[in-house]
Amino acid sequence: MPLFKFYEYLSKFGALKLYERELESKISKYPPPKHVGIIMDGNRRLAKKLGENPELGHNLGASKVHEVIDWCVSLKIPTITLYAFSLENFNRPEKEVKVLMDLFEREFIEIADHPDVHKDKIRVSVIGRREMLPEYVQKAINYAEDKTKGYSDYFVNFAIAYGGQQEIIDSVKKIAKQVKNGEIDIEDINIELISKNLYTSNLPSPNPDLIIRTSGEERISNFLTWQSCYSELYFCETYWPTFRKVDLLRSIREYQKRERRYGK
């Protein structure tokens, strides 16, 4: 039986909440991942399945972000990185890109003023080539980052105008300038130096322990390419807007069951 059908079966008999509690009980006995990355996929496909335009799917997906942040805080996961908009996404129809940009502006202003963000001391940040975003979106991002810059209990990062390979290129360019200026020697270039120049260098746990992708696709699509070299991967059938807490719990439980050997 496909997993989503199993969940539908449980829901009919009111057993899904019991299943959630059982998973939470098991998860509480082991350390949670320190950093979870999520590839939020399936907004457009869900809208198409419902016979609606992509805008509905993107709005539903934005609402899901707030829920997932709450779930991660309740599970004591200190860092999450959400893949919201890749560099390749700029190639989508102009109207759809505008819808997404407007949505980003609205959501960053809303998250900056949300009482739970301040209660839970969540620092909000954006990684990616933000200079490619419209000025009004950059302004909203700066607003959210400024209002939460003093917090360090939880970190919520949005990857927007982001590409993992491009992030590595940007890091190499920074290092090349340092070599050119005589600040470092070529022999100083190592894993630590490249990592130090990545977008995620300011995070307490820059490398995700667990990466979740929704919608059934099984690839990481240029997400945290450098940082994910030892991440555990979990692929979920459900579309992002219909992602449930039980899906998150199952991914964490699966992560806890795996033996992370780091090549040893």
Q: Does 260 belong to an annotated binding site?
A: no
Catalytic (active site) residue 41:
yes
Comparing C-alpha atoms, which of 97, 81, 166, 156 is closest to residue 128? 166
Cα–Cα dist 261/40, whole Å: 27
User: Binding residue per annotation — 213?
Assistant: yes
Any catalytic annotation for residue 202? no
Tell whether 250 is in a known binding site.
no
User: 91: which 2 tokens?
Assistant: 């190639």
Angstrom distances, CA of residue 140 to CA of 60, 89, 98, 124, 158: 20, 20, 15, 12, 13
The crossing angle, in degrees rounded to 10, of helices 16-27 and 245-257 is 30
State the catalytic residue, choosing from 41, 157, 222, 247. 41
What are the residues facing 188 on neighbouring strands? none
Does residue 220 have a known ligand-binding role?
Answer: yes
Contact criterion met (CB below 8 Å) for 209 and 35: yes
Number of H helices, E strands in the chain: 10, 6
Check: CB of residue 211 under 8 Å from CB of residue 41. no
Asked if residue 41 belongs to a known ligand binding site, the reply is: yes
59 is in an annotated binding site: no
User: Does 163 appear as a known binding residue?
Assistant: no
Q: Is 168 annotated as a binding residue?
A: no
Is there a binding annotation on residue 94? no
The single residue of 53, 89, 142, 197 carrying the catalytic annotation is 89
List CB contacts of 160: < 8 A, sequence separation 6 or more.
84, 85, 104, 126, 127, 128, 130, 133, 141
Determine if residue 92 is labeled as part of a ligand binding site: yes
23 is annotated as contributing to ligand binding: no
Q: Please enumerate, by residue number, every residue annotated as part of a binding site for substrate.
A: 42-45, 58, 86-88, 90, 92, 213, 219-221
Q: Please enumerate, by residue number, every residue annotated as part of a binding site.
A: 41-45, 58, 86-88, 90, 92, 213, 219-221, 232
Catalytic residues: 41, 89
Q: Please enumerate, by residue number, every residue annotated as part of a binding site for Mg(2+).
A: 41, 232
